[in-house]
Structure 1
């Protein structure tokens, strides 16, 4: 049940917190604290996992997890984004849709690694330090994970996507496409806010939010060209304009207008107002386009973060991050630094 809760959080929002913008910084100076004339564009992003942080750099992914004995376990893998490997996938809008599914896969893998560490350490605490997981149990755990992922996504789609459409239809707001989707959008935001507030009271999820804050602090420091140390990171904000929390608000607002256009097109084609099922199928098919456009808007807001108009438009997303990020302690900041340095060393 605990892992299902984590996966539901990952399924709804966490992969979206890994959208990467370009930042010019001196990588060698940040890593070593020395002086170097070498500088390059490096894209970094990450997400919080169970008692740890996953960080992604241009050529690698590193996940650092704090074990109960205070040791930090690191898993590092080479990885180059699909949009970098295949130029056709780097086209505007398309790259956003590709990045979403890519980060979903990477995020769940990182979560699974951190969950395995937690479960193994729990078993060793109960059965002795020499305990090793049986091979058959590992396979069974894998099947259970797949089942929980499917269940988590089914719940996420049902609660945050299908249910708002059904409730809006019941309210009798289907006569006008714009008003229908505006009402559905308001319901969707209300559900999401209630969901965030509810899970933020859960002790384990609050720990995730603290690691989320540590992740943001480390990226903010890195993008400022600061040497990565616990002392330096304390002063940085736990908020970041590229976070998936901001992305989700862009998606919800943009969905009102994009889905209204889609519903109007469908109504013209079939000659009558679409049913709830027809709306669901139409809206679901438009999700890649919605995600791609939202991704481009998020990248634009990050590049033009000093623009007053864009700053005001992005402010609600930053306010919402006050729920999904909490101030981390020094030990959590240390884990985020280890993850970021490990990812950068391979890039």
Structure 2
């Protein structure tokens, strides 16, 4: 079973194939868990590789269109190829830096991010999500979105260098291709991409996560335990 996660300043979401769990600290300061089944969508477009990531996220679609227009505009201005790459990367990184700056005012995010990774790693490594196994698991995860973003930039650089004058035609689908590569099993062990994941591990370990508090560990444990229990017993329940 594949488990995904997402962290916030006050909690964690865990996603499974059939359900997801929202675990957070409410306004009164108490832990709160909300369990929901995934909607059974039959949109055939969501089964098409690459395209499904744009159909499933309007934000991704909008950003990709904006980047495409920026690239076409840069192409008309006869700007040096590598300079174009730096301009595009600068714009995208600017958004990442602004987001990170906002998160710095919510320092609890990094602890929840670490707890999220530990819980998922505990399940993947030990097939168990007991508190003891979560505590001793790593807070560095190959499935972290940090790695996906770095992979996106890496594919972007390759496309700019190889495709040159027609690189902007590739820009629109670059994110979808990066996501498909990101989902390939053991992609982090591929020599071509291993450096991307090593950089991602360094950033996670030094910047984007920190050791979670006992409260954050318990919150992650209760949430992922709820998800695993449902996902593994779905056939019986159904």
TM interval, shorter chain, is 0.7 to 0.9
Equivalent residue, structure 2, for 1:89:
46
Counterpart check, 1:230 vs 2:135: no
- Note if contact 1:185-1:255 (Cα within 8 Å) is conserved in structure 2: no
Q: TM-score, normalised by structure 1?
A: 0.54
Provide closer, same or farther for how the CA distance between residues 200 and 319 of structure 1 changes in structure 2, counting only shifts above 3 A. farther
Q: Which runs of 5+ in 1 are unaligned?
A: 1-41, 106-153, 267-278
Provide closer, same or farther for how the CA distance between residues 258 and 80 of structure 1 changes in structure 2, counting only shifts above 3 A. farther
Counterpart check, 1:247 vs 2:164: no
| Cα distance in 1 between the residues matched to 2:90 and 2:155 | 15
Equivalent residue, structure 1, for 2:196:
313
- Note if contact 1:215-1:336 (Cα within 8 Å) is conserved in structure 2: yes
1:109-148 equivalence runs, <5 A: none
2:82 equivalent among 171, 179, 184: 179
1:207 equivalent among 97, 105, 108: 108
Provide closer, same or farther for how the CA distance between residues 68 and 265 of structure 1 changes in structure 2, counting only shifts above 3 A. closer
* Distance apart, 1:342 and its partner CA: 1.8
Equivalent residue, structure 1, for 2:94:
191
Q: Which runs of 5+ in 2 are unaligned?
A: 232-238
| Cα distance in 1 between the residues matched to 2:153 and 2:40 | 26
Q: CA offsets, 1:92-145, max 9 Å, x none?
A: 32344345x18x79xxxxxxxxxxxxxxxxxxxxxxxxxxxxxxxxxxxxxxxx
2:165 equivalent among 236, 257, 264: 264
Equivalent residue, structure 2, for 1:22:
none
Coordinate RMSD, CA, aligned: 3.7
Q: TM-score, normalised by structure 2?
A: 0.75
| Cα distance in 2 between the residues matched to 1:260 and 1:310 | 17
Residue 335 of structure 1 aligns to a residue in which SS? helix
Equivalent residue, structure 2, for 1:77:
36
* Distance apart, 1:213 and its partner CA: 0.8
| Cα distance in 1 between the residues matched to 2:154 and 2:187 | 20
- Note if contact 1:65-1:335 (Cα within 8 Å) is conserved in structure 2: yes
The 10-residue stretch of structure 1 (42-51 or 316-325) with the greater mean CA deviation from structure 2: 316-325
* Distance apart, 1:86 and its partner CA: 4.8
- Note if contact 1:185-1:256 (Cα within 8 Å) is conserved in structure 2: no
* Distance apart, 1:237 and its partner CA: 1.4
Residue 126 of structure 2 aligns to a residue in which SS? coil
Q: CA offsets, 1:7-38, max 9 Å, x none?
A: xxxxxxxxxxxxxxxxxxxxxxxxxxxxxxxx
